[in-house]
Amino acid sequence: MLAYFLRRVLATIPVVLMVALFVFSLLYIAPGDPAAIIAGDQASPEDVERIRASLGLDRPFVVRFAEWLWQVIHGDLGTSIFTNLSVAHMISQRIEPTVSLMALTLILSLSIAIPMGVIAAWKHGTLIDRVVMMVAVFGYSTPVFVVGYLLAYVFALQLDWLPVQGFTSITEGVVPFLRNLILPSVALGLIYMALIARITRATMLDVLSQDYVRTAKAKGVEQKGILFVHALKNAAVPIVTVVGIGFATLIGGAVVTESVFAIPGLGRLTVDAILRRDYPVIQGVVLLFSFTYVLVNLAVDLLYTVFDPRIRY
């Protein structure tokens, strides 16, 4: 197990390197020029060229990539072209809101979607099943920003219960923390909930038709025990897989959610950096996201052994 874990961790290095090279190449060939943005509308081409040279953007691709890679290997993600702050510092300023948003979304989604899926499977073919699936289809097909604006309109502007925007650290109290994050988490989590509820229902339907479930029923095991102890544990592997895959959806959704609710997280940092062509920041954040994604998938693989002891690495 430990050997497998170490092997997988080591395997992330070439993956992250490939991502880094890919992103660096994309940014290199993409049109747009940070020097032109810095210099402004009235600047002369000569001024733009001087700024480009001062930022080192006039050097060949290989030199720039090698220099950046060398920095990264030494734990230095570089300095933002625009803010003159270190990329690591900028990421550290933004990581808490994003992690908080994702964690709350994950907790909310799992605690709602799994029971929804289980109940839909249990009440298969009934009105409850249809309602659950309708909610799931709605959640999956409604864009995050639409849900976000609707929630803000109803709960902030009309009912006056929650703020429209912002983020408060959990260190300043759980209540203000939740007040700021509850709407974004629901908006972001809706698509995730829909995905998990559907896969839970489908897997549970399959499991509930197995012989051992019929045996358990015949032995007089109560319904709750059958559903949540016997069946759900056996349905967990596909659910965990979807949770892992859905993490990418969560990252993409966080970009939009953070913009709609003005949460100063990594998603907004990425969008701002892309619009301004702040190459070191884009590279740093993408590297972090890809590394996290690889680790989440590793965690998913390891969780398989918890839910299904037959799986061995």
Partner 1 sequence: MRRRDFLRTTTGAASLLAAPRIGRAADSKVLRFVPQANLANLDPIWTTQYVVRNGSLLIWDTLFGVNDKLESQPQMVEAYEVTPDFKTWTFRLRPGLKFHDNEPVLAKDAVASINRWMPRDPTMGVPIKRQLDALDVVDDRTFRFRLKVSYPKLLFALGKSSTPVLFVMPERIAATDPFKQISDYVGSGPMRFKKDEWVPGSGAVFERFAGYEPRAEKANWLSGGKRMNFDRIEWKILPEAATAAGALQNGEVDWVETPYTDLVPMLKKSSGVVVDIADPLGNIGVFRVNHLYPPFNDVRARRAVQIALSQSDYMRAVVGDDEALWKELPGFFTPGTPLYTEQGGDYLKGPRKYDEAKKLLAEAGYKNEPIILLVATDVAITKAQGDVTADLLGKIGMNVQYTALDWGTVGQRRASKEPPDKGGWHIFHTWSAGADCANPAPYTGLDASGPTAWFGWPKSDEVQAKIAEWYAAPDLAAEKVIIGQLNQAAMDFVVYIPTGFFKAYQAWRSNLSGVVKAPFPVFWDVSKA
Q: Footprint of partner 1 on this chain (CB under 8 A)?
A: 31-34, 36-45, 47-48, 50-51, 54, 80, 82-85, 90, 93-94, 149, 152-153, 156-157, 160-166, 168, 175-176, 178-179, 182, 259-262, 264, 268-269, 271-272, 275-277
The least distance separating partner 1 from the CB of residue 54, rounded to whole angstroms, comes to: 5
| Gap between the Cα atoms of 86 and 79, Å rounded | 4
Instruction: Assign 165 to helix, strand or coil.
Output: coil
> CA 251, CA 248: separation in Å to the nearest integer?
5
CB 93 to partner 1: min, Å: 5
Query: How many angstroms separate the first and last alpha carbons of the chain?
Result: 6
Which lies closer to partner 1 via its Cβ, residue 148 or residue 246?
Answer: 148
**Closest residue by Cα to residue 268 from 248, 287, 282, 249:** 282
For helices 61-73 and 2-29, angle between their N-to-C axes, nearest 10 degrees: 150
Of the pair 44, 310, the CB lying nearest partner 1 is at 44
Q: How far is the CB of 199 from partner 1 (least distance, A)?
A: 26
Looking at beta carbons only, is 167 or 247 nearer to partner 1?
Answer: 167
Q: How many residues does the chain have?
A: 313
Nearest residue (CB) to partner 1, 161 versus 313: 161
| Shortest CB 181 distance to partner 1, Å | 11
Asked if residue 61 lies in contact with residue 28, where contact means CB atoms within 8 angstroms, the answer is yes
Residue (50 or 217) nearer to partner 1, CB: 50
Q: How far is the CB of 189 from partner 1 (least distance, A)?
A: 17
Distance, CA of 281 to CA of 37 (rounded, Å): 16
